Amino acid sequence: MRFQSTAKKPPYLNRGDQFRLLALFAMLFIVVLAFRKAADPNTWRWLLPGDEDQVADTIDTGDLRDISYVVVDKNEHLDLDEFIASSEGGANSGGAPEEKFNLLLDPHVFDEVKDQTVGWRSRAEVAALHVVLEKVRQLDNKAMTAAANKGVGFRQINQEPEKFRGELVRIKGVLWRLDEFQQDGEPVEDSPVYNGWMFTDDSGNKPWMVLCTELPSELPLGDKLDRPVAVTGYFFKRYGYETTGSQLNVAPLLVAKTFELQAVPAEQLEERTDNATLTVFLVLLVSLLLLGLILFGFIRSDRKFAGSRLAELAKPNQNATLSSEVLDGMELTHPSDALRGVGLGGKTESDSDEQVDEQNG
């Protein structure tokens, strides 16, 4: 009969050593997280702000249209602080007609574009998107900004999308998320597209979606960027997307060339510094408390072991001096002397002589 053994294999480490190893692994995990957090440049922006994070200039320059002027004769001498403004429109008065014509898009490009659809509705819509992307790659961002409509709000563009479709729109707000856009259809090599989500003052918690073909060198990809930016782009459609809570939402989609970094306001910069300082202080405090608890557990475990019966058994019964004296007083015998006279069968020579005498007798 076979009986199942109830004996369990003894662990190689006792409970105290297992706890210590677990605590060391926890400390190593915290160190790795700290290294990864320290490698993020956004972590140290509060301590070493870059040029783009400088406080905005608070000097009010006023509206240039309020400059007073006096009609003078062209031949009259002017003072050093006076100038002549020509009554005829110059080259920069409204932009060259050819330049404005180059900024226009063919209205038929948007024939297959439909609003309030999750993702892209058809291949024709994707093709229209690539046409607009290729258009902004060839344009200058300053020219786009000069010709853009700067008075379009979030609610207005959502209520009248057909009116503003294909029109250049300029908005300012806070860029929250930026990543590389996964283009549908055949991707074009060396022509990346970036997807940004930004909030404006009138959008509340509803974002704008912006596709751009270039990025400033100071603007990294990532989440929770919280960077003040401005952008000029063509309004494409009201893009439907699914939120993290599996809810459907719609965002105005702009196709732009790049983001323009804006100066951080003084109040926002001070708030960031205060929040970052508090976060660093709390992280250090929690880390020190955790380290203190681990060390306290180690010390308590050592003291508990020192007062246990196992520690008494582990101690030597005699000291080194007594052991040396005992060894010095022992009689030494060579192993060959102990085996001398032992014959086969474990009998000695004296035993063999006694057996011979008995046989003779």
Q: Supply the DSSP string of 8-77, one letter for each residue.
A: PPPPSS-HHHHHHHHHHHHHHHHHHHHHHHHH-GGGGTTTS--GGGSBPP------GGG-------TTS-
Residue 248's pLDDT is 84
Q: Which helix (H) or strand (E) holds 138?
A: helix 123-138
Tell me how far the alpha carbon of residue 185 is from its chain's centroid: 29
Average predicted confidence (pLDDT) for the chain: 74
Residue 10, pLDDT score: 55
| pLDDT tops 80 at residue 141 | yes
Cβ atoms < 10 Å from Cβ of 262: 16
For the chain, how far is it from start to end, CA to CA, in angstroms? Answer: 60
Question: Which of 61-75, 180-194, 219-233 is most confident?
Answer: 219-233
pLDDT at residue 148 tops 80: yes
Please tell me the predicted confidence (pLDDT) of residue 273. Answer: 65
pLDDT beyond 50 at 89: no
User: What percentage of residues in the chain have a pLDDT greater than 70?
Assistant: 60
pLDDT reported for residue 135: 93
What tens digit of pLDDT does each residue of 285-315 get? Answer: 888 888 888 778 777 777 777 777 666 666 6
Question: Tokens 């203190």 sit at which residue?
Answer: 292
Is residue 108 scored above 70 in pLDDT?
yes
| Position with higher pLDDT, 56 vs 113 | 113
Tens of pLDDT, residues 225-235: 889 999 999 99
The domain spans of the chain are 94-262
Higher pLDDT, 301 or 89: 301
What are the tokens at 208?
Answer: 């704008």
For 146, the 3-state DSSP assignment is: helix
Class of domain 94-262: mainly beta
> 220 and 42 in contact (C-beta within 8 Å)?
yes
